[in-house]
Amino acid sequence: MRIGISCYPTIGGSGAVATELGKALAKRGHEVHFIVTDVPFRLGAFVEHVYIHELDTTTYPVLRTPPYDFSLAALMAKVADEYQLDVIHAHYALPFAVCGFLAREMAKRDVKVVTTLHGTDVTVLAQDTSLKEVIKLGIEKSDAVTAVSRSLIQQTRELFETDKPIECIYNFIDTSVFRPQVGEKVRSSLAKPQERVLLHVSNFRQIKRIPDVIEIFARVRAHVQARLLLVGEGPEYSGARQRVRELGLEPYVEFLGKQDEVATLIAAADVLLLPSAKESFGLVALEAMACGIPVIGSIAGGIPEVVVDGVTGFLSDVGDVTKMATDTLRLLQDDRLYNDFSQAARRHAESQFHVHDKVGEYEALYRRVCGI
Protein backbone atom coordinates (compact mmCIF):
# COMPACT_ATOMS: atom_id res chain seq x y z
CA MET A 1 0.00 0.00 0.00
CA ARG A 2 0.99 3.67 -0.24
CA ILE A 3 0.59 5.40 3.09
CA GLY A 4 1.03 9.04 4.06
CA ILE A 5 1.87 9.77 7.71
CA SER A 6 1.58 13.15 9.42
CA CYS A 7 2.76 13.66 12.97
CA TYR A 8 4.60 16.05 15.26
CA PRO A 9 8.25 15.47 14.35
CA THR A 10 9.62 16.72 17.67
CA ILE A 11 10.48 14.55 20.66
CA GLY A 12 7.31 13.04 22.13
CA GLY A 13 5.40 9.78 22.28
CA SER A 14 3.04 10.43 19.37
CA GLY A 15 5.89 11.35 17.00
CA ALA A 16 7.90 8.34 18.15
CA VAL A 17 5.00 5.94 17.58
CA ALA A 18 4.14 7.44 14.15
CA THR A 19 7.77 7.26 13.01
CA GLU A 20 8.32 3.71 14.25
CA LEU A 21 5.07 2.67 12.55
CA GLY A 22 6.21 4.23 9.27
CA LYS A 23 9.58 2.47 9.47
CA ALA A 24 7.95 -0.87 10.28
CA LEU A 25 5.45 -0.50 7.40
CA ALA A 26 8.28 0.33 5.00
CA LYS A 27 10.21 -2.76 6.15
CA ARG A 28 7.14 -4.79 5.19
CA GLY A 29 7.32 -3.37 1.67
CA HIS A 30 4.74 -0.57 1.88
CA GLU A 31 5.59 2.85 0.44
CA VAL A 32 5.55 5.38 3.30
CA HIS A 33 5.37 9.16 2.81
CA PHE A 34 5.97 11.35 5.86
CA ILE A 35 4.21 14.69 5.34
CA VAL A 36 5.75 16.84 8.04
CA THR A 37 7.22 20.17 9.10
CA ASP A 38 10.60 18.58 9.91
CA VAL A 39 12.27 15.20 9.58
CA PRO A 40 10.88 13.07 12.45
CA PHE A 41 13.42 12.69 15.27
CA ARG A 42 13.24 8.89 15.41
CA LEU A 43 13.74 8.32 11.69
CA GLY A 44 17.49 7.72 11.96
CA ALA A 45 19.42 6.43 8.95
CA PHE A 46 17.95 6.03 5.44
CA VAL A 47 15.12 3.52 5.30
CA GLU A 48 14.13 2.01 1.94
CA HIS A 49 10.55 2.84 0.81
CA VAL A 50 10.39 5.91 3.10
CA TYR A 51 9.94 9.38 1.56
CA ILE A 52 9.89 12.73 3.34
CA HIS A 53 7.76 15.66 2.19
CA GLU A 54 8.65 18.72 4.26
CA LEU A 55 6.29 21.64 4.52
CA ASP A 56 7.58 24.98 3.30
CA THR A 57 6.19 27.44 5.84
CA THR A 58 6.66 30.57 3.74
CA THR A 59 5.53 33.78 5.43
CA TYR A 60 3.78 36.59 3.60
CA PRO A 61 4.01 40.16 4.89
CA VAL A 62 0.23 40.54 4.87
CA LEU A 63 -0.36 37.53 7.14
CA ARG A 64 0.36 37.82 10.86
CA THR A 65 0.88 34.06 11.14
CA PRO A 66 1.77 31.61 8.36
CA PRO A 67 -1.26 29.57 7.20
CA TYR A 68 0.49 26.44 8.39
CA ASP A 69 -2.52 24.13 8.66
CA PHE A 70 -3.86 25.00 5.20
CA SER A 71 -0.41 24.57 3.67
CA LEU A 72 -0.13 21.16 5.33
CA ALA A 73 -3.58 20.12 4.04
CA ALA A 74 -2.61 21.26 0.53
CA LEU A 75 0.66 19.32 0.73
CA MET A 76 -1.18 16.20 1.91
CA ALA A 77 -3.55 16.45 -1.08
CA LYS A 78 -0.65 17.03 -3.49
CA VAL A 79 1.30 14.04 -2.17
CA ALA A 80 -1.87 11.91 -2.21
CA ASP A 81 -2.41 12.67 -5.90
CA GLU A 82 1.21 12.55 -7.06
CA TYR A 83 2.10 9.34 -5.22
CA GLN A 84 -1.34 7.74 -5.40
CA LEU A 85 -1.71 7.36 -1.65
CA ASP A 86 -4.30 4.90 -0.38
CA VAL A 87 -4.34 6.29 3.15
CA ILE A 88 -3.32 9.40 5.06
CA HIS A 89 -2.63 8.42 8.68
CA ALA A 90 -2.98 11.43 11.00
CA HIS A 91 -1.26 11.02 14.37
CA TYR A 92 -2.95 13.54 16.65
CA ALA A 93 -6.37 15.03 16.02
CA LEU A 94 -5.18 18.61 15.84
CA PRO A 95 -4.20 19.71 13.27
CA PHE A 96 -3.49 16.47 11.42
CA ALA A 97 -6.94 14.85 11.35
CA VAL A 98 -8.51 18.14 10.30
CA CYS A 99 -5.81 18.70 7.65
CA GLY A 100 -6.43 15.13 6.45
CA PHE A 101 -10.13 15.86 6.09
CA LEU A 102 -9.39 19.00 4.04
CA ALA A 103 -6.83 17.10 1.95
CA ARG A 104 -9.36 14.36 1.19
CA GLU A 105 -11.78 17.04 -0.02
CA MET A 106 -9.09 18.59 -2.24
CA ALA A 107 -7.46 15.44 -3.62
CA LYS A 108 -8.50 14.10 -6.99
CA ARG A 109 -8.22 10.51 -5.83
CA ASP A 110 -10.19 8.63 -3.24
CA VAL A 111 -7.70 8.74 -0.36
CA LYS A 112 -8.86 7.57 3.07
CA VAL A 113 -8.05 9.30 6.36
CA VAL A 114 -7.17 7.26 9.44
CA THR A 115 -6.67 9.17 12.70
CA THR A 116 -4.86 7.92 15.78
CA LEU A 117 -5.62 9.71 19.04
CA HIS A 118 -2.62 9.86 21.35
CA GLY A 119 -3.99 11.51 24.45
CA THR A 120 -3.01 15.09 24.87
CA ASP A 121 -5.05 15.98 21.77
CA VAL A 122 -8.12 14.72 23.60
CA THR A 123 -7.51 15.06 27.32
CA VAL A 124 -5.78 18.44 27.31
CA LEU A 125 -6.68 20.33 24.13
CA ALA A 126 -10.37 19.44 24.35
CA GLN A 127 -10.56 21.40 27.63
CA ASP A 128 -10.18 24.49 25.44
CA THR A 129 -13.76 25.06 24.28
CA SER A 130 -12.59 27.03 21.24
CA LEU A 131 -10.77 23.92 19.96
CA LYS A 132 -13.20 21.23 21.06
CA GLU A 133 -15.50 21.41 18.05
CA VAL A 134 -12.66 21.42 15.54
CA ILE A 135 -11.10 18.35 17.20
CA LYS A 136 -14.52 16.67 17.11
CA LEU A 137 -14.80 17.48 13.40
CA GLY A 138 -11.41 15.88 12.74
CA ILE A 139 -12.45 12.75 14.62
CA GLU A 140 -15.89 12.41 13.07
CA LYS A 141 -14.80 13.08 9.49
CA SER A 142 -12.02 10.48 9.59
CA ASP A 143 -12.68 7.23 7.75
CA ALA A 144 -11.39 5.34 10.79
CA VAL A 145 -10.22 6.37 14.25
CA THR A 146 -7.96 4.51 16.62
CA ALA A 147 -6.83 5.36 20.15
CA VAL A 148 -3.79 4.04 22.00
CA SER A 149 -5.75 2.71 25.00
CA ARG A 150 -9.26 1.76 26.07
CA SER A 151 -9.14 4.48 28.67
CA LEU A 152 -8.56 7.07 25.93
CA ILE A 153 -11.53 5.72 23.95
CA GLN A 154 -13.70 6.13 27.04
CA GLN A 155 -12.46 9.67 27.65
CA THR A 156 -12.96 10.64 24.00
CA ARG A 157 -16.55 9.37 24.09
CA GLU A 158 -17.27 11.30 27.28
CA LEU A 159 -15.57 14.55 26.28
CA PHE A 160 -16.90 14.78 22.74
CA GLU A 161 -20.21 12.96 23.19
CA THR A 162 -19.50 11.10 19.96
CA ASP A 163 -20.66 7.69 18.74
CA LYS A 164 -17.89 7.52 16.14
CA PRO A 165 -16.45 3.99 16.30
CA ILE A 166 -12.97 4.13 17.84
CA GLU A 167 -10.73 1.09 17.79
CA CYS A 168 -8.00 0.44 20.35
CA ILE A 169 -4.60 -0.28 18.83
CA TYR A 170 -2.07 -0.18 21.62
CA ASN A 171 1.35 1.35 21.18
CA PHE A 172 4.08 -1.14 20.43
CA ILE A 173 7.75 -1.84 20.95
CA ASP A 174 10.62 -3.33 19.01
CA THR A 175 12.02 -5.69 21.62
CA SER A 176 15.21 -6.18 19.63
CA VAL A 177 16.08 -2.49 20.22
CA PHE A 178 14.64 -2.08 23.73
CA ARG A 179 16.18 -5.02 25.56
CA PRO A 180 17.98 -5.74 28.81
CA GLN A 181 21.77 -5.35 28.95
CA VAL A 182 22.06 -2.63 26.27
CA GLY A 183 22.47 -0.12 29.09
CA GLU A 184 25.49 -1.61 30.87
CA LYS A 185 28.07 0.84 29.44
CA VAL A 186 25.86 3.89 30.07
CA ARG A 187 25.15 2.73 33.59
CA SER A 188 28.79 2.44 34.51
CA SER A 189 29.43 5.97 33.23
CA LEU A 190 26.50 7.53 35.15
CA ALA A 191 26.36 5.65 38.46
CA LYS A 192 28.69 4.06 40.98
CA PRO A 193 28.56 0.22 41.09
CA GLN A 194 26.85 0.23 44.50
CA GLU A 195 24.19 2.77 43.49
CA ARG A 196 20.67 1.84 42.37
CA VAL A 197 19.40 3.88 39.43
CA LEU A 198 15.95 5.49 39.27
CA LEU A 199 14.85 7.02 35.99
CA HIS A 200 12.21 9.44 34.76
CA VAL A 201 11.71 10.38 31.10
CA SER A 202 9.17 12.99 30.01
CA ASN A 203 8.55 16.40 28.49
CA PHE A 204 8.49 17.93 31.99
CA ARG A 205 4.94 19.21 31.79
CA GLN A 206 2.88 19.70 34.94
CA ILE A 207 0.85 16.52 34.32
CA LYS A 208 4.05 14.48 34.67
CA ARG A 209 4.26 15.47 38.37
CA ILE A 210 8.04 15.99 38.47
CA PRO A 211 7.93 17.07 42.16
CA ASP A 212 6.57 13.58 42.95
CA VAL A 213 9.49 12.00 41.08
CA ILE A 214 11.95 14.00 43.17
CA GLU A 215 10.09 13.28 46.42
CA ILE A 216 10.03 9.52 45.74
CA PHE A 217 13.75 9.62 45.00
CA ALA A 218 14.49 11.57 48.19
CA ARG A 219 12.61 8.99 50.26
CA VAL A 220 14.29 6.05 48.53
CA ARG A 221 17.73 7.61 48.94
CA ALA A 222 17.18 7.86 52.66
CA HIS A 223 17.39 4.04 52.73
CA VAL A 224 19.55 2.90 49.81
CA GLN A 225 22.39 4.44 47.84
CA ALA A 226 20.72 5.66 44.68
CA ARG A 227 20.97 8.04 41.74
CA LEU A 228 18.18 9.68 39.77
CA LEU A 229 18.42 10.16 36.01
CA LEU A 230 16.08 12.79 34.59
CA VAL A 231 15.69 12.73 30.81
CA GLY A 232 13.79 15.40 28.88
CA GLU A 233 13.00 19.08 29.09
CA GLY A 234 9.93 21.25 29.44
CA PRO A 235 8.13 23.90 31.50
CA GLU A 236 8.83 22.21 34.87
CA TYR A 237 12.56 21.83 34.22
CA SER A 238 13.89 24.82 36.14
CA GLY A 239 11.47 24.18 39.03
CA ALA A 240 12.82 20.63 39.20
CA ARG A 241 16.42 21.85 39.35
CA GLN A 242 15.50 24.22 42.16
CA ARG A 243 13.70 21.49 44.16
CA VAL A 244 16.69 19.16 43.78
CA ARG A 245 18.95 21.96 45.12
CA GLU A 246 16.61 22.70 48.05
CA LEU A 247 16.64 19.04 49.09
CA GLY A 248 20.45 18.87 48.86
CA LEU A 249 20.18 16.12 46.24
CA GLU A 250 22.32 17.76 43.55
CA PRO A 251 25.21 15.25 43.79
CA TYR A 252 22.81 12.36 43.16
CA VAL A 253 20.62 13.70 40.34
CA GLU A 254 21.64 13.84 36.67
CA PHE A 255 19.65 16.20 34.43
CA LEU A 256 20.38 14.72 31.01
CA GLY A 257 18.09 16.93 28.92
CA LYS A 258 16.52 15.86 25.63
CA GLN A 259 17.91 12.59 24.30
CA ASP A 260 17.10 10.97 20.95
CA GLU A 261 18.32 7.47 21.73
CA VAL A 262 16.68 6.42 24.95
CA ALA A 263 17.00 2.62 24.82
CA THR A 264 20.48 2.53 26.38
CA LEU A 265 19.50 5.07 29.05
CA ILE A 266 16.35 3.19 29.98
CA ALA A 267 18.15 -0.14 30.11
CA ALA A 268 20.75 1.49 32.41
CA ALA A 269 18.14 1.98 35.13
CA ASP A 270 16.70 -0.26 37.84
CA VAL A 271 13.28 1.33 38.13
CA LEU A 272 11.23 3.76 36.01
CA LEU A 273 9.12 6.38 37.79
CA LEU A 274 5.94 7.51 36.00
CA PRO A 275 3.64 9.21 38.53
CA SER A 276 1.63 11.20 35.91
CA ALA A 277 -1.73 12.79 36.59
CA LYS A 278 -2.79 12.04 33.01
CA GLU A 279 -1.33 9.52 30.59
CA SER A 280 -3.20 7.91 27.73
CA PHE A 281 -0.67 5.07 27.44
CA GLY A 282 2.79 5.86 28.81
CA LEU A 283 5.09 4.72 26.00
CA VAL A 284 8.14 5.06 28.24
CA ALA A 285 6.63 2.50 30.64
CA LEU A 286 6.46 0.01 27.77
CA GLU A 287 10.02 0.87 26.71
CA ALA A 288 11.17 0.26 30.29
CA MET A 289 9.32 -3.05 30.59
CA ALA A 290 10.85 -4.25 27.31
CA CYS A 291 14.26 -3.58 28.89
CA GLY A 292 13.23 -5.62 31.94
CA ILE A 293 12.84 -2.48 34.08
CA PRO A 294 9.86 -2.54 36.50
CA VAL A 295 7.66 0.56 36.59
CA ILE A 296 6.44 2.58 39.56
CA GLY A 297 3.43 4.39 38.17
CA SER A 298 0.12 6.01 38.90
CA ILE A 299 -3.39 4.72 38.32
CA ALA A 300 -4.05 7.27 35.60
CA GLY A 301 -5.50 6.91 32.11
CA GLY A 302 -4.05 3.95 30.22
CA ILE A 303 -1.12 3.19 32.56
CA PRO A 304 -2.99 0.24 34.19
CA GLU A 305 -3.49 -1.23 30.69
CA VAL A 306 0.28 -1.24 30.16
CA VAL A 307 1.75 -1.98 33.60
CA VAL A 308 0.37 -5.01 35.46
CA ASP A 309 0.16 -3.94 39.10
CA GLY A 310 2.10 -6.32 41.36
CA VAL A 311 3.59 -8.18 38.36
CA THR A 312 5.52 -5.82 36.05
CA GLY A 313 5.55 -2.88 38.45
CA PHE A 314 3.50 -1.24 41.19
CA LEU A 315 0.70 1.27 40.70
CA SER A 316 -0.65 3.82 43.18
CA ASP A 317 -3.19 6.60 43.28
CA VAL A 318 -1.97 9.84 41.72
CA GLY A 319 0.08 11.75 44.32
CA ASP A 320 0.56 8.83 46.74
CA VAL A 321 4.33 9.29 46.96
CA THR A 322 4.48 7.36 50.24
CA LYS A 323 3.29 4.15 48.58
CA MET A 324 5.38 4.81 45.46
CA ALA A 325 8.54 5.18 47.54
CA THR A 326 7.70 2.10 49.65
CA ASP A 327 7.07 0.03 46.50
CA THR A 328 10.34 1.21 44.94
CA LEU A 329 12.22 0.15 48.09
CA ARG A 330 10.43 -3.22 48.10
CA LEU A 331 11.80 -3.88 44.63
CA LEU A 332 15.28 -2.56 45.31
CA GLN A 333 15.72 -4.43 48.60
CA ASP A 334 14.52 -7.85 47.47
CA ASP A 335 16.59 -9.31 44.61
CA ARG A 336 14.27 -12.26 44.04
CA LEU A 337 11.20 -10.05 43.80
CA TYR A 338 13.10 -7.67 41.53
CA ASN A 339 14.15 -10.46 39.14
CA ASP A 340 10.61 -11.83 38.98
CA PHE A 341 9.26 -8.37 38.10
CA SER A 342 12.03 -7.72 35.61
CA GLN A 343 11.41 -10.98 33.74
CA ALA A 344 7.63 -10.55 33.84
CA ALA A 345 7.98 -7.01 32.47
CA ARG A 346 10.04 -8.16 29.49
CA ARG A 347 7.66 -11.10 28.82
CA HIS A 348 4.60 -8.83 29.02
CA ALA A 349 6.08 -6.29 26.59
CA GLU A 350 6.96 -9.07 24.14
CA SER A 351 3.66 -10.91 24.32
CA GLN A 352 1.21 -7.98 24.41
CA PHE A 353 2.84 -5.06 22.61
CA HIS A 354 5.15 -6.47 19.97
CA VAL A 355 5.72 -4.24 16.93
CA HIS A 356 4.85 -7.06 14.47
CA ASP A 357 1.44 -7.63 16.01
CA LYS A 358 0.43 -3.97 16.24
CA VAL A 359 1.69 -3.05 12.76
CA GLY A 360 -0.35 -6.01 11.51
CA GLU A 361 -3.42 -4.48 13.21
CA TYR A 362 -2.80 -1.14 11.43
CA GLU A 363 -2.34 -2.92 8.08
CA ALA A 364 -5.63 -4.75 8.54
CA LEU A 365 -7.34 -1.45 9.36
CA TYR A 366 -5.92 0.29 6.25
CA ARG A 367 -7.11 -2.61 4.07
CA ARG A 368 -10.56 -2.48 5.62
CA VAL A 369 -11.05 1.28 5.07
CA CYS A 370 -9.80 0.94 1.49
CA GLY A 371 -12.02 -2.09 0.85
CA ILE A 372 -9.12 -4.36 -0.20
Question: With binding defined as CB under 6 A, does residue 258 bind ligand GMT?
Answer: no
Question: With binding defined as CB under 6 A, does residue 297 bind ligand GMT?
Answer: no
Closest to ligand GMT by CB, 148 or 331: 148
Residues 180-219 that bind ligand GMT (CB under 6 A): 203, 205, 207
Contact code string over 84-123 relative to ligand GMT, x by CB under 6 A: ----------------------------------xxx--x
Question: With binding defined as CB under 6 A, does residue 278 bind ligand GMT?
Answer: yes
Question: With binding defined as CB under 6 A, does residue 17 bind ligand GMT?
Answer: yes
Closest to ligand GMT by CB, 226 or 283: 283
Residues 220 and 325 sit within 8 Å (Cβ to Cβ): yes
**Residues 6+ away with beta carbon under 8 Å from 268:** 183, 184, 186, 187, 190, 191, 197, 199, 229
Closest to ligand GMT by CB, 144 or 226: 144
**Residues 6+ away with beta carbon under 8 Å from 309:** 315
Question: With binding defined as CB under 6 A, does residue 280 bind ligand GMT?
Answer: yes
Binding part of the chain for ligand GMT, among 50-58, 237-245, 264-272, 279-287 by CB under 6 A, reads 279-287
Which of 5, 6, 9, 13 binds ligand GMT (CB under 6 A)? It is 13
Q: How far is the CB of 244 from ligand GMT (least distance, A)?
A: 21
Q: How far is the CB of 95 from ligand GMT (least distance, A)?
A: 13
Question: What is the maximal distance between C-alpha atoms in the chain?
Answer: 67
Binding site for ligand GMT (CB under 6 A): 12-14, 17, 118-120, 123, 148, 171, 203, 205, 207, 278-283
